[in-house]
Amino acid sequence: MNFDWQPIFLSLQVALGALLLVFVAGTLAALWMAQSEFRGKDVLESLFLLPLVLPPVVTGYALLILAGRHGPLGIWLEQSFHFRLLFTPYAAVLASAAVAFPLMYGSAKAAFLSIDPHWHEAARSLGATPHRVFWTISVPSSWPGLVTGAALSFARALGEFGATIMVAGNIAGKTTTASTAIYMAAEDGDLKLAGIYSALLAATNLLFLIGLGVWMRRNRRHIKS
């Protein structure tokens, strides 16, 4: 048994990086979709939610094609920044964000749709700019849904395996996440090591969710008071 904390720390870093990406992108996309009507909206929304029903390895393969040396994203990064994304920790962040995005998007959109549209209309009639309406009405009114989406996204990103191994691989000390370490330990027959990584991963998610629940209850009480 050769336990190493690096996969746990990397998984936390990847999950936090993915959370940042999906929180910003998912919130903005949800707000736009909740307040807009246009041709092809249903198709676009289906694309947003597609990673939720696809096997993660299929999502990873799509990212591999997109960010590879001959893919549009890969070519742009290479030509503009002389940077190769694949098989780096950044690729793990991208993969985790891709599979977690539908959770953030779905929760945020449901939260925005629950807001009484008359509140927005009243604010605009009083001269509030879209930016001010967003920060003073949309965000405070929908924060429970946004926080729920963020929690689900973090938990999903922390345990991602299929998409991550496709684009980040399993480079020891560089791209080995906790989920990859579990798989490799089990494949080598070291079930004790796999169990340790599994327990740490589960405990991390459990502590995060408990802490989030406590924080949300305290904030609800503060708002009511």
Which CATH number does the domain housing residue 73 bear? 1.10.3720.10
pTM (two decimals): 0.88
CA gap 152, 134 in Å, rounded: 23
Asked whether residue 1 is assigned to any structural domain, the reply reads: no
Residue 60 belongs to what domain range?
Answer: 6-224
Asked whether residue 150 is assigned to any structural domain, the reply reads: yes
Number of structural domains found in the chain: 1
Asked whether residue 164 is assigned to any structural domain, the reply reads: yes
Which one, of 107, 138, 101, lies nearest residue 21 by Cα?
101
Contact 200, 5 (CB under 8 A): no
Long-range (24+ apart) CB contacts under 8 A made by 181-188 are: 181/4, 181/7
Provide the percentage of residues in the chain whose pLDDT is more than 90: 59
Is the confidence at residue 137, as pLDDT, over 80? no
Task: Please give the residue that has the higher pLDDT: either 7 or 118.
Answer: 7
CA gap 7, 224 in Å, rounded: 42
Asked whether residue 79 is assigned to any structural domain, the reply reads: yes
Asked whether residue 158 is assigned to any structural domain, the reply reads: yes
How confident is the model over 21-60, as pLDDT tens digits? Answer: 999 999 999 989 988 888 989 999 999 999 999 999 999 9
How confident is the model over 180-218, as pLDDT tens digits? Answer: 999 999 988 899 999 999 999 999 988 888 887 787 777
Asked whether residue 178 is assigned to any structural domain, the reply reads: yes
